[in-house]
Amino acid sequence: MRILAPLALAAAFMAAPALAQTPPPSPVQAAPAPQSPEEAAIEAEAEAFQGRMEAMQAELVAAVEAAGDDQAKANADVDAILVRYQPEFDAFATKLEAFVQGEADKETDPARKAEMLAALPELGNAIRTIPAQIRAGFLSEQPAAAPAAE
């Protein structure tokens, strides 16, 4: 189902290390730097968010299956689920943006800092718009309405 494609994309994003902040170790660097409390906190938030996304995905699948051929019911149920979860997407996006902003504030490399700051709006928007992407995917999967009889 295409409904699940944006969720899979978001889940893959969440599974990736927090914005790949740690460069690959050099031959001289034996062990990576210990994780900061901020990194640990955002990773915990990401894991919790991913769990909620999986719960939402299960709800969406169940709602669509329960609606059967009743597209109006499926639309209403999908909308209700997405509206209920939107605040969680918004909250996680805000937390992730704050984390990246904090990391950018600590960054000493001006080019890296500029790159991080430039990514902020896109990063938050990508998360906040997942419900809309799911909705658009759901609508595109619906069969075209039969032409009205004249």
**pLDDT tens digit sequence for 28-55:** 555 666 788 999 999 999 999 999 999 9
**Looking at the domain assignment, is residue 21 inside a domain?**
no
Distance from C-alpha of 113 to C-alpha of 92, rounded to nearest angstrom: 22
State how many domains the chain has: 1
Q: What is the pTM of this model?
A: 0.71
pLDDT tens track for 86-97: 999 999 999 999
Tell me the residue range of the domain where 106 lies: 4-14+39-141
26 vs 127: which has the higher pLDDT: 127
In a domain, 20, yes or no: no
CB crowding 20-33: b at 16 or more within 10 Å, else e: ebeeeeeeeeeeee
Does residue 30 belong to any structural domain of this protein?
no
pLDDT per residue as tens digits for the range 61-74: 999 999 999 999 99
The one-letter amino acid at 144: A
